[in-house]
């Protein structure tokens, strides 16, 4: 049984006592514990259930690669599933729960799967649930939903109360990993004068070296680490951060790192996570190595752990995973675990070494202490209960698994060798090479990820580079750190004893020729329940690509991502395919290295800051006066202004009625305004617009259309000529930035010899449309600018001082009414708005929103970019031939509009539509034609582009694009309607109201 | 009856202040004039009218009241007192008569912020919001950087007093205010940039 | 996540400060162009595995369009240059040759 030892524990503070709950039970731990170490200290080894078979599982590792001990941490708004107990730092008051079981961890009815496991082989989802089709909805899907997925999602009403943020930094050198290699690299890199950022994912420096008993520069590793960290902290050009995990490396030295600021200390007013967005000239990955499990039957029982994890818990947390341990290995390093256990007074029942010749110096030390060492042997199978392993059966390694001896134990420490953590190296395209000696993929320095300068951008060092000896790793890191800093190493690398270990022997399956019954119980991927037999079956069924096998078997999926199961799985696949391991290759390593929170990715972009909201100078008034807002681009524009008790559609009708029969006003500040000035400005606007703009007189306005080079209509608006060489181009609300960029693109990249300057002055001006029969009267009342019919005819503009405010007035109309658009500097916009409200009171002035604007323009048959256009519509489709110059030799889009499909008489044409019963056509409804198409769908002959109830006409009106529409006036056609019904409409002119334009010309 | 004199110009944010890791203030009305033209053509006349040196690439020059910023190879921005902007723009336009140049008063198109506090904290606040390199060597006083602030465009520089000046478009003033004050909230210290005060 | 140095202001701009513009040195075909020429202008674009001459705008910066010679495979950037040219300048071509020779 696991327990806390009475002495030791380099990371824990025994003077502290932290309370936490585990599935509702109150337990205690120390400062410095992880959740995993604290649970084991309390005798809890069962920590979860596996994904597919719901088998009882205990902790396997002591770090980020943990597959089993996934927990739901926190509660309420702070609940978070799938957190690794091995990396979760314990804090006072922590709430933890196990997951993936029902009804309880100890009794899980889903575990019935386990006895059926031979009927749930690789690809069983694909095979089992194919038929009958009718079973999907009521049988298969509920079953899969119930049993699939790891932890449960947070409650749907939960709202994360914490803050998250990003932090962008630039540095010469980023070093990922604060083990002794990372520290050595930081020292030599910083000695070159380079700016260095060193990040470490855990809360402490030094990595494995202290646990492994390394001595550096003649001192114990702990002392060297403390000294080195102090030296680095004192340096101006070095930054050190713990609890920061190097998450991914991308092109051109871009790296993401994930800082867990407050996971271990919530509610302290600090951001919970911070995403570091780093630009580094060079990156050093000192990410260490991950020990490999050994595939033998029953290797997933609680109590069976990595050998390194066993000694981590003993040395770091003074936690004994068991009382009686069997070490099983193929290498010398695992003997260190036997020594650590023996030092702690714990029984090592045996070391089972698969190598017939056994180990080197370390093995001799173990033997000298009287610990039993078996050579050339293997574990045939582990036996146990749901709380853990109770014994292992021993056999010949080269055999098929006939048990010759049974050894009782409650802990198995396994080591199949080590795999360098090559994830970060691989993210940005670094390639790997197969190292026969250590049976490992390690970074190939000749095929490193390259930076924009063509030089190697990432240097892998230490164990991450396949150097498992302390001395070798330090020397490697020392050299690479200096190179990353742009210099050469000065002085000697930190000294340590050379590695003294006998060669390891690859072991991919134990025993080597295990019979099928054992292979079916030998786990490769604990989290996803993938066994040796599954991978072999996948190969047999033709999944010869490693990427396919991964997906078919789910090997290495979910949080594992090639950490624990990768090499063993590849090796089994290679065996099954009778290929060499390097020929099979690895799956693709993708960021993030370990899962990071979505909130950290979002950073500040949540709640009110999810997206920028653009506000006009009058926005506050709108908010205070019942505006129902609609998003237009990033702007929020009032859709309508609701008065007390009014419904939205009632407000819209009132606004239209008051505008048509009295006086309305619209906040038009969002319309784009771009100045185009220069000797070639006329020539330029002639290219931008389809009609002739250069002939516009100073003081006059003209409506124009802008097309893309593909010929499609992209924007429209009124152009005013301010002076001989200056035009003011109005764009749509959403179009200002886009059209300004469009202008600059043509000027900079095509007509760079033309003398034209542009300036986007959209936000300089607040603009109000004053609309309706009383429009002139209210402006006259404000006074200062002559707005009489004679002084300011339709489609002219003027400027002066209106009500004491500097103003430009454009006499233009998008409603068909007498209308003036008044522009004032934005900081005076609210003043103008207030002035109009006050002066207009006697005329019943009514602010209106975008819906009234839309209905009124539709009554007049004016098109709206985004309604009548969708990126596939040309002006000719909309009957706008009058706005397309025939005289101009060229304009943007002209050639495209001459292409055969653009000139096709069968293109749908814009018409007005009147329902025969006065009802309103559905938005986007299709006009139905006879027959069906090749897919059996009804043929169509048009579609609705705009549809409204017109209060002015008291009926539904619409515009639409219809086949040969303009030749079919008066014809009635059917449109689709909700629920499969149809609605009949008559094809009419799109101008429903005041076709002669008498109302605006007064 | 409406009286314009009782309705003075009002900036997007009036009198807002926030005290956190640094002090964030809405700078209020600020005169801004966009000048477009080749520096060879407009540099001298602009220097004559404003009394300021023509800034080098990415530079900003100032005399404590006015400042002249390099915005692009053919664009400068003049910062001045809000009240004098219209007249100054007219006088600049006059002195550039005959040149291919564009002078526009854009004083109302933007919002301005002033952040004060320890320099390393000012840089820290910026670094939470912009991908630009804001290390002292990359953003020294006298340099202006146009970049992004989270999702919107912005420009920033350290002025002669050591304050951080930030401008953005007027319509997103509230957004940028929330960004800056959020990045400066107490408890969110990063302590990445060195405190260089002696 | 690329970083490209704007040749106008010298800023090493983050990809998020830039706006991509596709292949560089495409010659505009006007109203007089025949169908094939125009189709090629509108739709045909190079997609090399190797050096690509491409357009970028320093949109969150000085606003200028520029060209970059970027290797789509290795991400190496052989240089950036102003957009007001009809073909890559010689120093960029030399840099590409030099990189190939290495």
CB atoms within 10 A of CB B12: 26
Residue A605 has pLDDT above 90, yes or no: yes
Phi-psi label, residue A784: left if phi above 0, alpha if psi -120 to 50, beta otherwise? left
* pLDDT tens profile B8-43: 889 999 899 999 999 999 999 999 999 999 988 999
Min Cα–Cα distance to chain A from B155, Å: 16
The mean pLDDT of A676-684, rounded to a whole number, is 98
Least CB–CB distance from C77: residue in A452, A744, A894: A452
Compute the count of residue pairs across chains B and C with CB atoms less than 8 Å apart.
36
What residue in A sits closest to C62 (Cα-Cα)? Answer: A744
Q: Can you name the residues that pair with A940 across neighbouring β-strands?
A: A928
CA dihedral of A940, A941, A944, A949, whole degrees rounded to 10? -100
What residue in B sits closest to C1 (Cα-Cα)? Answer: B131
Helical packing angle, A335-343 and A307-317, nearest 10°: 30
Test A804 with B130 for CB contact under 8 angstroms. no
What residue in C sits closest to B138 (Cα-Cα)? Answer: C11
Least CB–CB distance from B5: residue in A274, A613, A804: A804
Looking at residue A142, what is its pLDDT?
66
Looking at residue A124, what is its pLDDT?
61
d(CA B41, CA B74): 10
Tokens standing for residue A248 = 């991914």
Test B188 with A826 for CB contact under 8 angstroms. no
Most B CBs within 10 A among C16, C61, C64, hence the mutation to make, goes to C61
Q: Which string of DSSP letters, residue by residue, matches A425-442? A: HHHTT--EEEETTTTEEE
In a domain, B4, yes or no: no
CA angle B50, B53, B58 (to 5 degrees): 115
- Chain A contact partners (≥3 CB pairs within 8 A): B, C
CATH code of the domain occupying C3-25+38-101? 3.30.2270.10
Tokens standing for residue A477 = 């890191």
When the pLDDT of each residue in chain A is averaged and rounded to a whole number, the result is: 94
Helical packing angle, A850-859 and A648-661, nearest 10°: 60
Tokens standing for residue A261 = 């600021």
* pLDDT tens profile A126-157: 665 556 666 666 666 666 666 656 788 888 89
Instruction: Select the CATH number that applies to the domain covering A905-988 from these four: 2.170.16.10, 2.40.30.110, 3.40.109.10, 3.10.110.10.
Output: 2.40.30.110
What's the 3-state SS for A311-380? HHHHHHHCEECCCEEEEEECCCCCHHHHHHHHHCCCEEEEEEECCCCCCCHHHHHHHHCCCCEEECEEEE
CATH of the domain at B151: 3.30.1360.120
Q: Which string of DSSP letters, residue by residue, matches A464-503? A: GGT--SHHHHHHHHHHHHHHHTTS---SPPPP-PPP--PP
Residue A185's H or E segment, with its range, is helix A180-191
d(CA A289, CA A163): 33
Tokens standing for residue A834 = 């207030």
A321 in Cβ contact with A315 (< 8 Å) = no
Least CB–CB distance from A614: residue in B104, B171, B192: B171
Band (pLDDT 50/70/90 cuts) for residue B115 is: very high
Looking at residue A551, what is its pLDDT?
87
Looking at residue B198, what is its pLDDT?
37
Q: Which string of DSSP letters, residue by residue, matches A731-774? A: E-GGGHHHHHHHHHHHHHHT-TTS--EEEE-GGGEEEEEEESTT
* DSSP 8-state assignment for residue A554: -
Test B7 with A826 for CB contact under 8 angstroms. no
Residue B192 has pLDDT above 90, yes or no: yes
Topology of the domain covering A3-112 = Ubiquitin-like (UB roll) (3.10.20)
Test A762 with B130 for CB contact under 8 angstroms. no
Tokens standing for residue A589 = 């390593």
CB atoms within 10 A of CB A106: 12
Q: Which string of DSSP letters, residue by residue, matches A126-139? A: HHHTSS-TTHIIII
Q: Which string of DSSP letters, residue by residue, matches C2-70? A: -EEE-TTT--EEEGGG-EEEEES-PPPP-TT--HHHHHHHHH-----SSEEEEEEE-TTTT--EEEEEE
Looking at residue A921, what is its pLDDT?
97
A524 in Cβ contact with A565 (< 8 Å) = yes
Looking at residue A55, what is its pLDDT?
86
Of A484, A449, A443, nearest to A462 (Cα)? Answer: A443
d(CA C81, CA B53): 28
B57 in Cβ contact with B131 (< 8 Å) = no
A293 in Cβ contact with A46 (< 8 Å) = no
A189 in Cβ contact with A238 (< 8 Å) = no
Binding-site residues on chain C for chain A (CB distance < 8 A): 1-4, 14, 19, 21, 28-31, 33, 35, 38, 42, 55, 57, 59, 63-65, 74-77, 83-84, 99, 102
Domain that holds residue B158: 16-183
Min Cα–Cα distance to chain A from C30, Å: 6
* pLDDT tens profile A118-128: 556 666 656 65
A457 in Cβ contact with A451 (< 8 Å) = yes
CB under 8 Å to A203, separation ≥6 — which residues?
A: A89, A242, A243, A264
d(CA A303, CA A110): 22
d(CA A33, CA A30): 6
Q: Quick one: how far is CA A281 from the chain centroid?
A: 25
When the pLDDT of each residue in chain C is averaged and rounded to a whole number, the result is: 96
CA dihedral of C12, A591, A151, A388, whole degrees rounded to 10? -140
Residue A20's H or E segment, with its range, is strand A13-22
Residue B156's H or E segment, with its range, is strand B152-158
Residue B133 has pLDDT above 50, yes or no: yes
Min Cα–Cα distance to chain C from B153, Å: 6
Test B11 with A763 for CB contact under 8 angstroms. no
Instruction: Give yes or no on whether A3-112 and A165-289+423-429+450-484 have one common fold.
Output: no
Residue A876 has pLDDT above 70, yes or no: yes
Min Cα–Cα distance to chain A from B49, Å: 21
Looking at residue A557, what is its pLDDT?
82
Band (pLDDT 50/70/90 cuts) for residue A449 is: very high
Chain A residues touching residue C65 (CB < 8 angstroms): 744-745, 748-749
- The two counts, helices (H) then strands (E), for chain A are 25, 51
Test A454 with C64 for CB contact under 8 angstroms. no
What is the CATH architecture assignment of A304-415? 3-Layer(bba) Sandwich (3.50)
A838 CB-side CA count, 13 A: 13
Tokens standing for residue A14 = 């025994």
Residues of chain C numbered 51-70 and touching chain B (CB < 8 Å): 60-64
Tokens standing for residue B106 = 């854009």
A215 in Cβ contact with A471 (< 8 Å) = no
d(CA A670, CA A829): 12
d(CA A940, CA A485): 67
Q: How many residues does chain A have?
A: 1002
Looking at residue B39, what is its pLDDT?
87
The backbone torsions φ and ψ at residue A138, rounded to the nearest 5 degrees and listed phi first, read -105, -15
Band (pLDDT 50/70/90 cuts) for residue A49 is: confident
Least CB–CB distance from B131: residue in A168, A605, A611: A168
CATH homologous superfamily, domain A615-869: Probable tRNA modification gtpase trme; domain 1 (3.30.1360.120)
**CB-based contact, B145 to chain A, within 8 Å:** no
Strand positions, DSSP E, A836-981: 846-847, 908-915, 926-932, 938-950, 955-963, 972-976
Most A CBs within 10 A among B6, B7, B31, B185, hence the mutation to make, goes to B7
d(CA A214, CA A222): 9
CB under 8 Å to A924, separation ≥6 — which residues?
A: A943, A944
Band (pLDDT 50/70/90 cuts) for residue A275 is: very high
Tokens standing for residue A79 = 């609940």
Band (pLDDT 50/70/90 cuts) for residue B197 is: very low
d(CA A702, CA A696): 7
Looking at residue A133, what is its pLDDT?
62
In a domain, B191, yes or no: no
Test C8 with B73 for CB contact under 8 angstroms. yes
Residue A358 has pLDDT above 90, yes or no: yes
ipTM value for the complex: 0.98
- Chain C contact partners (≥3 CB pairs within 8 A): A, B
d(CA B178, CA B174): 6
* pLDDT tens profile B142-155: 999 999 999 999 99
d(CA A252, CA A451): 5
Of A676, A713, A668, A710, nearest to A696 (Cα)? Answer: A676
In a domain, B83, yes or no: yes
Helical packing angle, A180-191 and A470-484, nearest 10°: 30
Band (pLDDT 50/70/90 cuts) for residue A215 is: very high
* pLDDT tens profile C44-87: 999 999 999 999 999 999 999 999 999 999 999 999 999 999 99
* pLDDT tens profile A805-818: 999 999 999 999 99
Chain B residues touching residue A830 (CB < 8 angstroms): 7, 10
Reduce the DSSP state of residue A280 to 3 states and report it. Answer: strand
**CB-based contact, C30 to chain B, within 8 Å:** no
Considering only residues A585 and B175, tell me which one the structure prediction assigns the higher pLDDT.
B175
d(CA A634, CA B153): 13
* pLDDT tens profile B156-191: 999 999 999 999 999 999 999 999 999 999 999 999
Looking at residue A680, what is its pLDDT?
98
Min Cα–Cα distance to chain C from B122, Å: 21
Test B146 with C12 for CB contact under 8 angstroms. no
What residue in A sits closest to C70 (Cα-Cα)? Answer: A452
Residues of chain B numbered 139-198 and touching chain C (CB < 8 Å): 145-148, 153
What residue in B sits closest to A831 (Cα-Cα)? Answer: B7
Looking at residue B134, what is its pLDDT?
98
Chain A residues touching residue C57 (CB < 8 angstroms): 741, 744-745
Instruction: Select the CATH number that applies to the domain covering A165-289+423-429+450-484 from these four: 3.50.50.60, 3.40.50.2300, 3.20.20.140, 3.40.50.970.
Output: 3.50.50.60
**CB-based contact, B108 to chain C, within 8 Å:** no
d(CA A983, CA A675): 46
Test B71 with C11 for CB contact under 8 angstroms. no
Chain C residues touching residue B146 (CB < 8 angstroms): 60-62
- Chain B contact partners (≥3 CB pairs within 8 A): A, C
d(CA A305, CA A327): 10
The backbone torsions φ and ψ at residue C92, rounded to the nearest 5 degrees and listed phi first, read -70, -45
What residue in A sits closest to C36 (Cα-Cα)? Answer: A899
Test B73 with C16 for CB contact under 8 angstroms. no
What residue in A sits closest to C29 (Cα-Cα)? Answer: A895
Helical packing angle, A775-782 and A829-839, nearest 10°: 110
Residue A1000 has pLDDT above 90, yes or no: no
Helical packing angle, A532-540 and A566-577, nearest 10°: 40
* pLDDT tens profile C75-92: 999 999 999 999 999 999
Q: How many residues does chain C have?
A: 102
d(CA A13, CA A10): 8
Tokens standing for residue A354 = 């698969």
Residue A660 has pLDDT above 50, yes or no: yes
């Amino acid at each position: 049984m696991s327990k806390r030892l009475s002495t030791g524990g380099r990371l824990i503070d025994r003077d502290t006592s932290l309370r936490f709950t585990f599935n509702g039970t109150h337990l205690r731990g120390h400062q410095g514990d992880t959740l995993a170490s604290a649970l084991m200290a309390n005798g809890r080894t069962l920590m979860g259930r596996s994904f597919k078979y719901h088998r009882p599982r205990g902790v396997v590792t002591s770090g980020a690669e943990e597959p089993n001990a996934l927990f739901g941490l926190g509660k309420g708004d702070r609940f978070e599933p799938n957190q690794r107990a091995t990396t979760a730092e314990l804090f006072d008051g922590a709430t933890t729960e196990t997951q993936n079981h029902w009804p309880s961890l100890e009794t899980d009815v889903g575990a019935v799967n386990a006895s059926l496991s031979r009927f749930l082989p690789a690809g069983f989802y694909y095979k089992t649930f194919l038929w009958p089709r009718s079973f999907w909805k009521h049988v298969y899907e509920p079953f899969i939903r119930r049993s699939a997925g790891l932890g449960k999602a947070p409650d749907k009403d939960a709202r994360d109360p914490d803050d998250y943020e990003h932090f962008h930094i630039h540095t010469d050198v980023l070093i990922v990993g604060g083990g002794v290699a990372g520290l050595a690299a930081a020292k030599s890199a910083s000695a070159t004068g380079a700016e260095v950022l060193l990040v470490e994912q855990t809360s402490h420096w030094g990595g494995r070296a202290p646990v492994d008993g390394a001595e550096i520069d003649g001192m114990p590793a702990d002392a060297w680490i403390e000294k080195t960290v102090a030296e680095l902290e004192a340096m101006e050009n070095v930054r050190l951060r713990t609890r920061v995990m190097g998450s991914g490396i991308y092109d051109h030295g871009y790296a993401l790192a994930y800082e867990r600021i407050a996971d271990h200390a919530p509610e302290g007013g600090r951001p919970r996570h911070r995403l570091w967005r780093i630009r580094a000239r060079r990156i050093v990955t000192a990410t260490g190595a991950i020990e490999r499990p050994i595939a033998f039957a029953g290797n997933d029982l609680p109590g069976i752990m990595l050998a390194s994890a066993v000694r981590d818990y003993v040395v770091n947390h003074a936690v004994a995973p068991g009382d009686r341990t069997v070490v099983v290995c193929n290498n010398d390093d695992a003997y260190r675990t036997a020594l650590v256990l023996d030092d702690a007074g714990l029984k090592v029942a045996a070391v089972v070494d698969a190598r017939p010749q056994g180990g080197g110096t370390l093995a001799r030390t173990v033997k000298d202490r009287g610990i039993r060492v078996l050579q050339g042997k293997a574990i045939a199978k582990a036996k146990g209960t749901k709380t853990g392993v109770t014994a292992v059966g021993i056999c010949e390694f080269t055999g098929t698994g006939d048990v010759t001896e049974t050894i009782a134990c409650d802990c198995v420490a396994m080591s199949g060798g080590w795999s360098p953590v090559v994830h970060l190296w691989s993210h940005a395209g670094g390639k790997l090479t197969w190292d026969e000696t250590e049976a490992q993929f390690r970074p190939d320095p000749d095929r490193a990820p390259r930076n924009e300068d063509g030089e190697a951008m990432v240097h892998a060092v230490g164990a991450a580079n396949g150097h498992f000896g302390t001395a070798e790793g330090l020397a490697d890191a020392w050299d690479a750190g200096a190179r990353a800093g742009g210099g050469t190493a000065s002085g000697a690398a930190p000294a340590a004893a050379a590695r003294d270990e006998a060669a390891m022997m690859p072991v991919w399956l134990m025993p080597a020729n295990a019979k099928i019954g054992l292979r079916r119980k030998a786990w490769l991927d604990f989290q996803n329940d993938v066994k040796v037999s599954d991978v072999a079956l996948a190969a047999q069924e033709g999944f010869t690509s490693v990427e396919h096998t991964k997906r078919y078997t789910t090997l290495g999926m979910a949080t594992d991502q090639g950490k624990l199961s990768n090499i063993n799985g590849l090796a089994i696949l290679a065996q099954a395919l009778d290929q060499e391991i390097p020929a099979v290759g690895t799956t693709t390593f993708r960021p993030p290295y370990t899962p990071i929170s979505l909130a950290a990715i979002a950073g500040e972009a949540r709640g009110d800051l999810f997206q920028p909201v653009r506000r006009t100078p009058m926005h506050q008034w709108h908010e205070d006066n019942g505006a129902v807002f609609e998003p237009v681009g990033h702007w929020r524009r009032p859709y309508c202004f609701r008065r007390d008790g009014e419904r939205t559609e009632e407000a819209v009708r009132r606004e239209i009625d008051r505008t048509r029969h009295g006086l309305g006003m619209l906040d038009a500040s969002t319309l784009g305004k771009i100045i185009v000035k220069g000797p070639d400005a006329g020539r330029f606007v002639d290219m931008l617009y389809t009609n002739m703009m250069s002939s516009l007189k100073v003081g006059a306005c003209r409506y124009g259309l802008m097309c893309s080079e593909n010929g499609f209509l992209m924007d429209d608006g009124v152009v005013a000529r301010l002076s001989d060489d200056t035009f003011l181009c109005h764009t749509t609300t959403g179009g200002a930035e886009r059209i300004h960029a469009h202008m600059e693109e043509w000027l900079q990249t095509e007509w760079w010899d033309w003398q034209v300057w542009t300036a986007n002055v959209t936000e300089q001006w607040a603009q109000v449309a004053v609309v309706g029969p009383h429009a002139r009267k209210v402006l006259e009342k404000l006074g200062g600018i002559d707005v009489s019919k004679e002084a300011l005819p339709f489609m002219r503009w003027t400027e002066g001082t209106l009500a004491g405010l500097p103003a430009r007035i454009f006499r233009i109309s998008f409603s068909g009414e007498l209308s003036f658009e008044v522009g004032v500097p934005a900081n005076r916009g609210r003043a103008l708005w207030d002035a109009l409200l006050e002066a207009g009171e006697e005329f019943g002035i009514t602010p209106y929103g975008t819906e009234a604007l839309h209905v009124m323009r539709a009554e007049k048959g004016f098109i709206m970019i985004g309604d009548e256009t969708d990126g596939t519509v040309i002006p000719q489709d909309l009957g706008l031939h009058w706005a397309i110059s025939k005289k101009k030799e060229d304009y943007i889009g002209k050639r495209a509009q001459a292409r055969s499909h653009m000139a096709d008489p069968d293109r749908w044409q814009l018409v007005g539509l009147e329902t025969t019963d006065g009802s309103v056509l559905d938005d986007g409804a299709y006009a139905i034609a006879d027959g069906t198409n090749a897919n059996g769908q009804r043929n169509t002959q048009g579609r609705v582009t705009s549809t409204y109830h017109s209060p002015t006409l008291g009926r539904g009106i619409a515009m639409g694009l219809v086949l040969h529409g303009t030749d079919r006036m008066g014809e009635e056609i059917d449109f689709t309607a909700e629920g499969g019904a149809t609605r009949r409409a008559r094809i009419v002119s799109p101008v429903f109201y005041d076709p002669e334009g008498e109302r605006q010309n007064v | 009856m409406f009286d314009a004199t009782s309705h003075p110009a009002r900036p997007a944010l009036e009198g807002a202040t926030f005290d956190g890791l640094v002090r964030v203030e809405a700078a209020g009305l600020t005169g801004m004039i966009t000048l477009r033209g080749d520096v060879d053509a407009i540099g001298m006349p602009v220097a004559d009218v404003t009394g300021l040196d023509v800034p080098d690439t990415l530079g900003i020059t100032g005399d404590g009241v006015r400042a002249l910023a390099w915005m692009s190879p053919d664009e400068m921005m003049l910062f001045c007192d809000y009240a004098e902007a219209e007249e100054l723009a007219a006088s600049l336009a006059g002195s550039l008569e005959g040149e291919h140049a564009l002078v526009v008063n854009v004083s109302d198109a933007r919002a301005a912020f002033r952040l004060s506090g320890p320099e390393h904290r000012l840089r820290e606040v910026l670094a939470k919001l912009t991908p630009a390199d804001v290390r002292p060597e990359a953003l020294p006083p006298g340099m202006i950087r146009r970049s992004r602030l989270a999702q919107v465009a912005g420009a920033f520089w350290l002025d002669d007093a050591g304050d951080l000046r930030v401008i953005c478009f007027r319509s997103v003033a509230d957004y940028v205010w929330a960004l800056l004050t959020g990045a400066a909230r107490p408890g969110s210290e990063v302590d990445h940039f060195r405190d260089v005060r002696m | 996540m690329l970083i490209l140095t704007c040749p106008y202001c010298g800023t090493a701009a983050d990809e998020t400060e830039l706006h991509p513009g596709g292949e560089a040195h495409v010659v505009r075909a006007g109203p007089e162009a025949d169908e094939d020429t125009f189709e090629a202008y509108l739709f045909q674009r190079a997609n090399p595995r190797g050096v690509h001459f491409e357009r970028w705008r320093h949109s969150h910066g000085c606003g200028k369009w520029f060209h970059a010679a970027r290797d789509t495979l290795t991400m190496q950037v052989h240089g950036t240059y102003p957009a007001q040219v009809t073909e890559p300048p010689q120093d960029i071509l030399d840099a590409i040759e030099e990189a190939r020779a290495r």
